[in-house]
Chain A
């Protein structure tokens, strides 16, 4: 990756993180889960996928389905920065005057399908990928899941079916931030060794650092990994990445900060010096 591109993506990701922090007040949002996949969404929309505000109805566009819908602040922040979404709409967060709430919905341009109930979009993406293939298209169909989401049986059913039908234009990307809502994944329903699980379900798997743009570039450029198998990219990430005061903390999944804390956290994004937080932790699911 060129240094220019690297710098451009980093600057974009920082602005997306600022949106996430600003949404983490007045009712709050899923801050930790949003920060873990911010770099991934920035990379995909800014550099990888053929999807832009002007081709959202083109059936040959690349599709991204966000199955871990609670990280929607990262998605909307990316959309604002790339011109999909008017920034003023983020000010309507949790207002009944708009549709900006805790999970994605198609009242926001660029959202391919609503989510919020985990384990749904792998199968929806499978259907889209099957149709693209039937029509001889070569566009990418990507679905992003959380790692806790891998508890849901439907994820694995989708992969069994995708594998059986050799749907190689489907790519499942895991935001492997090592936490479910309340606890570390390995303390509850251990997922490791994860790559061999996907391999056993007939997928071709790569594992990368989900905060390293160069690794993302290399992995996504290599899609599809196989002529006959669905692809899986496991992105190792850190929950809360970018805010040292909440990074990798089980109790900072959903955050509802005071306005003073938001001011301090916006500084923290730049300084990387942890802020002392006083707001009550909310780790509710």
Chain B
């Protein structure tokens, strides 16, 4: 099963589904022939895409929208907030190449504030699957929900067998007493590597795949904070407004604090290049994540083994 098959199956079983795109057809190339008038390509018009989706939703449709994550969440932001948000309409936003996945495109294409923006809209839900398998597990529930939703589309092959998806629940991959890594999206595969490398150093390391950033699994965050040890948030997002901010909000709301190391993008866009080079340069390979955590604990990261090679992106944009 791939993304296109799931959306086709869902749309054929549910007349309410309308598939829309602002000329981003990478993952939905075969749908026009299958869906006929229920496939609408508005051209390179992100704002009109959102407005028209709101109109369709007013008439009872459930539009699933596709565009590059950056243009979708930034260019059309006010349309999402005003038409979909204030309207509380079940519009489902599929953002392509979020975070590091836009590799060589440059800052114009880097959606690294999308989580912050989307979760700031009342009623909006926000999801970031770790890989294709994780994404296919969560999309049926997201599309069936009456809420507007934003999904960081991620079609990278799974390197981990995921648990079934439950709305609002994080996936607890492992529990640990020294360190717990919290992450979402495509960096999950690197944190899996980092966890292995840290365990080789004799550390007890937990790992949580958040899956859903809004609603957030407060219970999971509170549990690891109360357990003690170092919490590490790992995200391909600006440090402002993403998982580190969410954790801080949850902890403070419960009058708690914790030792937290945020690994995120600080006040600058990332250096473009092929994906493996980007992760290497920015310090987000499994090796670098393990090294940075070790150094944060005041020890040398020199003994951390190199991780496996990073699989390059299969898509240009």
Across the interface, do B75 and A285 meet the contact criterion of CB distance under 8 Å? no
| A189 CB contacts on chain B under 8 angstroms | 42-43, 45
| A95 CB contacts on chain B under 8 angstroms | 273, 277
| B24 CB contacts on chain A under 8 angstroms | 181, 285
Across the interface, do B43 and A94 meet the contact criterion of CB distance under 8 Å? no
Interface residue? B209 (CB, 8 A): no
**Considering the chains assembled together, what is the distance between the CA atoms of A2 and B148 in angstroms?**
62
Binds B, one of A54-62, A147-155, A236-244: A147-155
**Considering the chains assembled together, what is the distance between the CA atoms of A84 and B92 in angstroms?**
46
Q: Considering the complex, give the chain A residue whose CB is closest to the CB of B27.
A: A284
Q: Considering the complex, give the chain A residue whose CB is closest to the CB of B315.
A: A284
Interface residue? A117 (CB, 8 A): yes
Across the interface, do B277 and A96 meet the contact criterion of CB distance under 8 Å? yes
**Considering the chains assembled together, what is the distance between the CA atoms of A28 and B42 in angstroms?**
27
Given A95-B273, A96-B278, A101-B272: A284 in contact with B316 (beta carbons within 8 A): yes
- Total residues of chain A contacting the partner, CB 8 A: 36
Residue from the list B41, B43, B105 in contact with A103, Cβ < 8 A: B105
Q: Considering the complex, give the chain B residue whose CB is closest to the CB of A150.
A: B44
Across the interface, do A114 and B106 meet the contact criterion of CB distance under 8 Å? yes
**Considering the chains assembled together, what is the distance between the CA atoms of A119 and B108 in angstroms?**
12
Q: Mark A96-122, 1 if CB is under 8 A from B, else 0.
A: 100101110100000000111111000
| B45 CB contacts on chain A under 8 angstroms | 151-153, 189
Interface residue? B292 (CB, 8 A): no
Where chain B touches its partner, the secondary structure class is loop
Interface residue? A254 (CB, 8 A): yes
Across the interface, do B44 and A117 meet the contact criterion of CB distance under 8 Å? no
**Considering the chains assembled together, what is the distance between the CA atoms of A285 and B28 in angstroms?**
11
Q: Considering the complex, give the chain B residue whose CB is closest to the CB of A120.
A: B108
Across the interface, do B281 and A114 meet the contact criterion of CB distance under 8 Å? no
**Considering the chains assembled together, what is the distance between the CA atoms of A114 and B277 in angstroms?**
22
Given A96-B273, A151-B45: A105 in contact with B316 (beta carbons within 8 A): no
Interface residue? A194 (CB, 8 A): no
Given A101-B272, A285-B26, A285-B68: A148 in contact with B105 (beta carbons within 8 A): no
CB distance from B194 to the nearest CB of A (A): 20
Q: Considering the complex, give the chain A residue whose CB is closest to the CB of B102.
A: A102
Q: Mark B226-254, 1 if CB is under 8 A from A, else 0.
A: 00000000000000000000000000000
Across the interface, do B272 and A285 meet the contact criterion of CB distance under 8 Å? no
| B156 CB contacts on chain A under 8 angstroms | none
Across the interface, do A102 and B75 meet the contact criterion of CB distance under 8 Å? no
CB distance from A279 to the nearest CB of B (A): 13
| B162 CB contacts on chain A under 8 angstroms | none
Residue from the list A27, A101, A115, A152 in contact with B44, Cβ < 8 A: A152
Across the interface, do A94 and B41 meet the contact criterion of CB distance under 8 Å? no
Across the interface, do A116 and B315 meet the contact criterion of CB distance under 8 Å? no
Q: Considering the complex, give the chain B residue whose CB is closest to the CB of A181.
A: B23
Interface residue? B150 (CB, 8 A): no
Given A254-B316, A256-B316, A285-B24: A188 in contact with B108 (beta carbons within 8 A): no
| B178 CB contacts on chain A under 8 angstroms | none
Task: Give 25 A-B contacts (CB < 8 Å), ordered by A residue.
Answer: A26-B274, A69-B108, A94-B274, A94-B277, A96-B272, A96-B273, A96-B280, A99-B272, A101-B106, A102-B316, A116-B108, A117-B108, A148-B23, A148-B44, A151-B23, A151-B42, A153-B45, A181-B25, A183-B41, A189-B43, A189-B45, A254-B317, A284-B26, A285-B23, A285-B24
Other A-B pairs, 15, CB within 8 Å; known A182-B29, A188-B43, A189-B45: A27-B274, A69-B108, A94-B104, A96-B280, A102-B104, A102-B105, A102-B106, A103-B105, A103-B106, A118-B44, A148-B23, A180-B23, A188-B41, A189-B43, A285-B317
